């Protein structure tokens, strides 16, 4: 056997590529502040070489160490794009030890690549709460005003970006990307620069002739309400009142009428001309990593032009059946190619998501139209919890490979505020659900997974859920036991503590009501484990104890 003792570097280390991979060098300086990290090769000192490798897929990395006798050692981190280099450096940091002045590097090469290419957080700006020291937090809704201070948008999303960069989450979808109330164009541009430096794609969310247009809220030429006030003849004639209801959510949703709820007719050529110009402007103005495009999911235009153009009885029947669809698959399939082309013409290498809407992956209703969808789009099929139960047993690789849409990704519409009882699942321990979707999606030939990423990982149940999403989407062959041992145990005070944390959290989630005596027992256990750990371990247990205490206080 060769020598497996790690190489220990200290003093001065020169970093080749540090000027290109700014954040990778920043992270080394943050974690090993006792070392002088130079952003260039340093004669006679060890070298850290950072480089992009076009042959590696995005997010993959390779680490190699050269240590010839008598010569200075060289550590090379090669990555697929910026994200791959950053992930490689984060892996080195994790293995580098706790001494701020000494950096340990193993001599064996390391190679890793993402099992799922498209690993994405989905968010609305108004209910993304990662900076917890500011007012204005909201937890649900789609037509909400923005209630935080103007700098709240960057305060929240920079934290989301940092977390994604460190945990191999590739992208963040943002609905409400552009609002006058949180800084408009300049703030959105700043966020894109910040995210690109850290290897994270910012993906604005829009809808065709709905959801406020490209500029969600403000006096702008690409704000939908402003455009329709100037051109009222292109407003949609809605088939029914604005809104929808989710089968897996126990309470009714409210859709108060406002500028947020207006829609434009997708059959009017002027609407699609305006949308095409708006998407072109979006891709040209911002250093985005993609666009998430929907057809709008709170109602369908039922004018004569739209009805005649669609001619899709199966789709129409779903809107009046128990499915209660509030969107048009045909509208999306016919209009997405034009918007896709407009964005791709302005910026290369975008992830342009085409939202295929909810609970229909096994029952497509617009197959003929979908054959027109362009190669290079990312086709996103959303599942509520009840539909996910079908997918777990019925979805097969040969079926996915036969779809006219390629590549395909899953989006989890549960494990968040949009499914569950009055508590919802926003703060539940959703780790098993995310692990399950990543593993099943990968084995069935899906290429990605999107989950809601709005609540802060300050809440330990949320933190563990996000960590499971990050780990299992990057490595779908990971086992639950490996996750508990390698990832959860260090955060919670050991393997036994991690198992107890999961057991307590899942018991709370499973029971809408629990006797006060049982809540007291669970609180006592949480305090005991937290007291044994201290520091961040204690904080995590304290957040679980707070969940229990609130339920005890409310008598449930």
pLDDT tens, residue by residue, 45-91: 999 999 999 999 999 999 999 987 767 899 999 999 999 999 999 99
- pLDDT, position 534: 87
Averaged pLDDT for residues 492-499: 97
Closest CA to 505 of 480, 525, 490: 525
- In which domain, by residue range, is 159 found? 118-478
Residue 483 domain-assigned (yes or no): no
Distance CA 437, CA 441 (A): 6
Res 70: pLDDT = 66
Q: What is the mean pLDDT of the chain?
A: 94
For 254-265, b where at least 16 C-beta lie within 10 A, e where not — what string?
A: ebeeeebbbbbb
Q: Are both 434 and 539 inside the same structural domain?
A: no
Q: 461 and 523 in one domain?
A: no
Domain boundary among 89, 112, 135: 112
- pLDDT digit string (tens) for 270-319? 999 999 999 999 999 999 999 999 988 888 999 999 999 888 888 888 88
| Whether residue 166 sits in one domain with residue 57 | no
In a domain, 330, yes or no: yes
Which DSSP symbol is given to 223? B
Are 13 and 131 members of one domain? no
Question: Does the structure show a pLDDT above 70 at 227?
Answer: yes
How many Cα atoms within 13 Å fall on the side-chain side of residue 188?
Answer: 27
Q: In this structure, are 282 and 392 located in the same domain? A: yes
What does the pLDDT read at residue 244? Answer: 75
CATH number at residue 11: 3.30.379.10
Q: What is the pLDDT of residues 10-47, one digit of tens each?
A: 999 999 999 999 999 999 999 999 999 998 777 889 99
Same domain assignment for residues 155 and 89: no
In a domain, 284, yes or no: yes
Total domains present in the chain: 3
Mean pLDDT in residue range 343-353: 97
Residue that finishes a domain, picked among 112, 135, 157 = 112
Residues 85 and 146 in one domain: no
pLDDT higher at 352 or 6: 352
Instruction: Specify whether 280 is located in the same domain as 352.
Output: yes
Q: Name the region of 542 (left: φ>0; alpha: ψ -120 to 50; beta: rest).
A: alpha
Interval 357-372: pLDDT, tens = 889 999 877 777 788 8
Instruction: Collapse the DSSP code of 92 into the 3-class scheme (helix H, G, I; strand E, B; otherwise coil) and give the result.
Output: helix
pLDDT at 269: 96
pLDDT of 1: 43
């Amino acid at each position: 056997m060769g020598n497996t003792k790690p190489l220990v570097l200290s003093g001065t280390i020169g970093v080749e590529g540090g000027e290109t991979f700014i954040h990778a060098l920043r992270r080394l300086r943050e974690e090993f502040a006792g070392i002088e990290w130079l952003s260039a090769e340093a004669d006679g000192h060890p070298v850290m070489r950072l480089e992009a490798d076009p042959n590696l897929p995005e997010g993959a990395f390779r680490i190699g160490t050269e240590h010839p006798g008598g010569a200075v050692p060289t550590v090379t981190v090669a990555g697929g794009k910026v994200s791959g280099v950053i992930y490689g450096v984060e892996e080195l940091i994790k293995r580098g030890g706790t001494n701020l002045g000494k950096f340990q590097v193993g001599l064996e090469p390391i190679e890793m690549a993402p099992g799922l290419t498209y690993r994405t957080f989905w968010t609305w700006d108004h209910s993304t709460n990662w900076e917890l020291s500011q007012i204005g937090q909201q937890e649900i809704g789609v037509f909400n005003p923005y209630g935080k201070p103007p700098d709240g948008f960057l305060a929240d999303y920079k934290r989301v970006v940092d977390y994604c960069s460190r945990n191999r989450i590739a992208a963040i979808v943002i609905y409400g990307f552009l609002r006058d109330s949180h800084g408009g164009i300049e703030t959105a541009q700043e966020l894109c620069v910040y995210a690109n430096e850290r290897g994270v794609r910012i993906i604005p969310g829009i809808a065709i002739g709905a959801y406020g247009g490209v500029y969600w809220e403000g006096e702008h030429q690409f704000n939908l309400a402003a455009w329709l006030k100037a051109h009222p003849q292109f407003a949609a004639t809605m088939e029914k009142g604005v809104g929808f209801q989710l089968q897996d959510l126990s309470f009714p949703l409210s859709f108060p009428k406002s500028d947020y709820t207006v829609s434009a007719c997708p059959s009017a050529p002027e609407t699609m001309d305006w949308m095409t110009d708006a998407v072109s402007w979006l891709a040209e103005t911002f250093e985005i990593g993609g666009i998430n495009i929907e057809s709008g999911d709170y109602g369908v235009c039922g004018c004569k032009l739209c009805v005649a153009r669609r001619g899709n009885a199966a789709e129409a029947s779903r809107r009046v059946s128990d499915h209660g669809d509030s969107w048009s698959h045909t509208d999306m399939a016919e209009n997405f190619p034009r918007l896709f082309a407009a964005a791709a013409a302005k910026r290369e290498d975008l992830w342009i998501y085409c939202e295929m809407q909810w609970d229909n992956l096994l029952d497509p209703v617009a197959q003929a139209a979908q054959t027109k969808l362009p190669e290079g789009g990312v086709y996103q099929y959303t599942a509520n919890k009840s539909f996910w139960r079908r997918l777990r047993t019925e979805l097969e690789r040969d079926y996915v490979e036969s779809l006219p849409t390629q590549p395909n990704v899953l989006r989890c519409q549960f494990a968040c505020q949009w499914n569950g009882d009055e508590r919802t699942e926003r703060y539940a321990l959703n780790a098993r659900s995310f692990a399950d979707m990543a593993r099943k999606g990968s084995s069935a030939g899906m290429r990605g997974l999107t989950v809601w990423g709005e609540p802060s990982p300050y809440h330990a149940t949320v933190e563990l859920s996000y960590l499971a999403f990050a780990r299992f989407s990057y490595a779908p062959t990971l086992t639950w036991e490996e996750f508990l041992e390698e990832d959860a145990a260090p955060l919670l005070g050991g393997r036994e503590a991690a198992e107890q944390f999961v057991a307590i959290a899942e018991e709370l989630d499973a029971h809408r009501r629990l006797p006060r005596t049982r809540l007291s027992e669970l609180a006592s256990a949480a305090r005991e484990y937290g007291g044994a750990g201290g520091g961040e371990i204690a904080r995590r247990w304290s957040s679980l104890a707070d969940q229990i205490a609130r339920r005890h206080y409310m008598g449930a």
